[in-house]
Homo-oligomer: A and B are copies of this chain.
Amino acid sequence: MRKITLAHGSGGSLMHELIKDLFVKNLDNPYLNNLGDSALINKNLAYTTDSFVINPIFFPGGDIGKLSICGTVNDLCVSGAKPKYLSCGMIVEEGFDYKDLEKITLSIKKTCKKAGVYVVAGDFKVVEKGAVDKIFINTSGIGEMYQNAMLSASRIRPGDKIIVSGTIGDHGASVLLAREELKFKSRIFSDCECLNGLISSIICKDIRFMRDPTRGGLATTLNEINAQCSYDMTIDERTIPVKEKVRALCEILGMDPLYMANEGKALFIVSPKSASRILSRMKSHPLGKNSRIIGEVEKRKAKKVYLKTKIGGTRILDMLRGEQLPRIC
């Protein structure tokens, strides 16, 4: 009997297959044909949803409340929409500490205020002890499409530059460290932040495509973009910004930062002529100061992503298979 495994929720290739085979095929409607970070409805509105099951619920740099707002705000803004309204559905385990629920709620409030969005609809359910692990939160969100955005993977051309907005793997490393209680001298902070400010400061028609590399990390997200466009892509490992602590943790545990989740980063594919202008504008925003051009789109049409490694080789960079780290978001 076929069973659902953790890998089906990993953000990697098994999840993509399940979503295609089970949901897109069965639900069969035109809105699901182009699986982006959000759906376009009523001409100029973007609509998205995300559930948050992270463990632990409090981690350096954030908590499940902040994460649930950032996650949905970021899905909207990488779709080219200005996030406006959110819904928030909480499922809480009986016996959950009221003070913790209050902390999470205040964190939601603070994050919304900073991002300029409102939680306008909510739902609250309590289930008996053991039926849920502490608290899960679903947020959905609605945004208004930017008039000066023109985002489509079909606009991606050879020579386009690939930009990442900062260091990668911070969120994954932070949660891993908080969970495992490894004896690291210092903590690693999650990058969990709302990106709508950064994105609204650079949005223009020269950005061909954006996506936030969350579950599955940079490698998986690049493969998702690659699957929608016609050309190969190459990124250069030496140019990819990774914090020293994150790199060290990954080395110890044998993990790859390219597959580690981010919650406050975005990937941009931009036209070659405006790449340096967009990069310099990004660098002037606090959330983009470590942004870098990490690669470019090739002429070849094999639909592959390549990694130029530090030691000078080149290898295919695949989507995440299996599950690297469950309940990262």
- Residues 230-261 of chain A, each 1 if its beta carbon lies under 8 Å from chain B, else 0: 00000000000000000000000000000000
| Complex contacts, A286 vs chain B, CB 8 Å | none
Q: With A91-B53, A126-B9 as given contacts, are A38 and B1 in contact (CB-CB < 8 Å)?
A: no
A interface size (C-beta, 8 A): 76
Which residues of chain A from 1 to 36 have a CB within 8 Å of any chain B CB?
1-10, 15, 18-19, 22-23, 26-29, 31-32
Is A132 within 8 A of B126, CB to CB?
no
The distance from the CB of A201 to the nearest CB of chain B, in whole angstroms, is 24
Partner of A38, one of B23, B121, B132, B138: B121
* A174 CB-CB contact with B under 8 Å: no
| Complex contacts, A27 vs chain B, CB 8 Å | 105, 108-109, 112, 119
Is A85 within 8 A of B41, CB to CB?
yes
Is B4 within 8 A of A95, CB to CB?
yes
Q: Which of A44-52, A161-169, A267-275 contacts B (4 or more CB under 8 A)?
A: A44-52
* A145 CB-CB contact with B under 8 Å: no
Partner of A109, one of B9, B28, B39: B28
**Most chain B Cβ neighbours within 10 Å, of A119, A123, A133, A136:** A123
The distance from the CB of A322 to the nearest CB of chain B, in whole angstroms, is 12
* A125 CB-CB contact with B under 8 Å: yes
| Complex contacts, A312 vs chain B, CB 8 Å | none
* A297 CB-CB contact with B under 8 Å: no
The distance from the CB of A42 to the nearest CB of chain B, in whole angstroms, is 8
* A290 CB-CB contact with B under 8 Å: no
Taken together as a complex, chains A and B put the C-alpha atoms of A133 and B18 apart, in Å, by 21
Is A3 within 8 A of B142, CB to CB?
no
Is A6 within 8 A of B132, CB to CB?
no
| Complex contacts, A93 vs chain B, CB 8 Å | 4
Nearest 7 interchain pairs by C-beta: A9-B126, A49-B87, A138-B138, A31-B120, A2-B98, A140-B140, A39-B120
